[in-house]
């Protein structure tokens, strides 16, 4: 009786712990999630490139503004110099 019970318990453990197959729904969900991840990574790469381009453009515009401010200051100094004489 004990041997039979031990064999039965062993059989239940082996069957319960055996390899399990994934359902097709699960595989489809994983494939869909993987495709969404790849699309998101591509989008991130594109957006990072756009950020870099805009940052470069911002630096150029700031340099242009700085130059224009210097030019304005120079012109104001010339006007002040000529008007005070």
pLDDT digits (tens, 9 = 90+) for 6-57: 777 777 766 666 566 778 888 899 999 999 999 999 999 999 999 999 999 9
* pLDDT score for 3: 74
The span from the CA of 29 to the CA of 23, in Å, is 10
Per-residue pLDDT band at 1 (split at 50, 70, 90): confident
The span from the CA of 48 to the CA of 41, in Å, is 10
Distances (CA, A) of 63 to 57, 59, 69, 71: 10, 6, 10, 12
* pLDDT score for 17: 65
pTM of the model: 0.57
């Amino acid at each position: 009786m004990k041997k039979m019970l031990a064999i039965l318990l062993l059989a239940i453990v082996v069957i319960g712990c055996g390899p399990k197959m994934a359902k097709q729904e699960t595989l489809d969900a994983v494939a869909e999630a993987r495709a969404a991840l790849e699309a998101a990574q591509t989008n991130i790469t594109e957006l990072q490139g756009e950020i870099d381009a805009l940052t470069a453009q911002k630096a150029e515009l700031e340099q242009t503004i700085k130059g224009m401010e210097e030019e304005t200051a120079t012109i104001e100094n010339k006007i002040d110099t000529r008007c005070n004489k």
